[in-house]
Amino acid sequence: MNAPRVRAFFHQDTFTVSYLLWDPATKRAAIIDSALDFDPKSGRTGTNSAEAILAAVREEGVTVDWLLETHAHADHISAAPFLKKATGAPIVIGENIKTVQKVFKGVFNLGYVTADGRPFDKLVADGEELPLGELKIKVLYTPGHTPACVSYLIVDAVFVGDTMFMPDYGTARADFPGGDARTLYRSIQKLLALPDETRVFLCHDYLAPGRDAYAWETTIGVERAKNIHLANTSEDQFVAMREARDKTLAMPVLILPSIQVNIQAGELPPPEENGVRYLKLPIDAL
């Protein structure tokens, strides 16, 4: 079976990597973890980054069937609604997004959030498969960073969201509401059980010390052997390291706007009576 073709798009402002992937035989495609441009100082949004993906869609001559989210991101705003309008593709996320919606509906007191999975178009479960031309996208439930995280496996390529990073940077934090370091370790072990040659595509890179270029692709074999948080590390050692490290980390710059928007599939809050949309700033709530 043909392996999927992949093009990556690095969003410098948030260190996020989005992907366009497709079946080379049929040109059916998916977009994973898109990013909307957002200036927190002015509250202005933009679509230049998303438009670059659409330009690649046209250049490659592919048809987008799916807009996939690995989780409700806390560090960038999804461009999925913009891409849905342009492509007609449905927005997909793991079924446990309902848990995340319920938590943050309360944190932000968002009366319009239904917390039943809407407005995502499709909720997927562990082991479920989505068609992509002659290929299949297999959903792997990989919680820990959040309770709703999923990874997407397509033949020899796995898109792991925020479970782990490049080997010299380690793994994702697990201290957000519903996150859990032990659960994250076990999810990563599920990924590390894939064949060594499996290509691993990451959602972020933060340029580890000693490296002069951003990177977002590695392999399962390299992650297993060289990841600084995982190699020769027991579950208990990982949990102790992860929990201690997480206590030292600041909140992501865009966590407050991102969470409010991303639990709603990237849809901005409804406009108020003056026609303006507003994001909330909870005080002492997180």
Residues in the chain, total? 286
> Residue 29 maps to which CATH number?
3.60.15.10
Number of domains in the chain: 1
Please name every residue paired with 68 in a beta bridge, in sequence order, or none if there are none. 32, 92
Which residues, at least 6 apart from 92, have a Cβ–Cβ distance to it below 8 Å? 66, 67, 68, 69, 120, 121, 122, 123, 124, 130
In a domain, 285, yes or no: no
Residues 195-220 pLDDT 10s: 999 999 999 999 999 999 999 999 99
Is there a contact between 232 and 62 (Cβ–Cβ < 8 Å)? Answer: no
In a domain, 50, yes or no: yes
Please name every residue paired with 31 in a beta bridge, in sequence order, or none if there are none. 20, 67
In a domain, 75, yes or no: yes
* pLDDT tens for the chain, residues 1 to 286: 689 999 999 999 999 999 999 999 999 999 999 999 999 999 999 999 999 999 999 999 999 999 999 999 999 999 999 999 999 999 999 999 999 999 999 999 999 999 999 999 999 999 999 999 999 999 999 999 999 999 999 999 999 999 999 999 999 999 999 999 999 999 999 999 999 999 999 999 999 999 999 999 999 999 999 999 999 999 999 999 999 999 999 999 999 999 999 999 999 999 999 999 999 999 887 6
In a domain, 286, yes or no: no
In a domain, 167, yes or no: yes
pTM here is 0.96
In a domain, 243, yes or no: yes
Is there a contact between 103 and 148 (Cβ–Cβ < 8 Å)? Answer: no
Q: What is the pLDDT of residue 1?
A: 66
Residue labelled with tokens 């940077």:
169
In a domain, 284, yes or no: no
- Residue 214 domain boundaries: 5-262
In a domain, 274, yes or no: no
